[in-house]
Amino acid sequence: MAISRYLGIGALILVLLISALAVIYSKYQSRLIFIEIQKQERALDQYEVEWGQLQLELTTLAELNRVEQVARDQLKLIMPLREKIIYIKP
């Protein structure tokens, strides 16, 4: 009877140790996942800043007067006379 009691206590201690190790492992995994989430959030913030800069640049480059200025200065295009413009109706 005493042997079975010691075996029962030993089994309980073994289960306790296994569960303690499982808790430690689970806490470690959650910390690793949290660190990865933080990295991804920092990357997302950087992408959002870059997206905003690209949107601003696109708006600047697409302005009508900018397009007209580039056409005149770099491509040496000129506006045709009003009499030479042909309008096509759909």
Condensed to tens digits (0 to 9), the pLDDT of residues 30-84 reads 999 999 999 999 999 999 999 999 999 988 888 878 888 888 899 988 888 888 8
- The arithmetic mean of pLDDT across residues 14-37, rounded, is 98
Question: What is residue 27's predicted lDDT score, i.e. its pLDDT?
Answer: 98
Q: Is residue 90 part of a domain?
A: no
The two tokens of residue 40 are: 């991804």
Q: Is residue 53 part of a domain?
A: yes
Q: Is residue 85 part of a domain?
A: no
Domain that holds residue 39: 2-78
The two tokens of residue 90 are: 């759909």
DSSP assignment of 74-87: TS---PPPGGG---
Q: Is residue 7 part of a domain?
A: yes
Q: Is residue 88 part of a domain?
A: no
Question: What is residue 60's predicted lDDT score, i.e. its pLDDT?
Answer: 83
Contact 23, 31 (CB under 8 A): no
Q: Is residue 42 part of a domain?
A: yes
Q: How many domains does the chain have?
A: 1
Q: Is residue 20 part of a domain?
A: yes
Question: What is residue 1's predicted lDDT score, i.e. its pLDDT?
Answer: 73
Model confidence pTM above 0.85: no
| DSSP 8-state symbol, 69 | H
Question: What is residue 64's predicted lDDT score, i.e. its pLDDT?
Answer: 74
Q: Is residue 87 part of a domain?
A: no
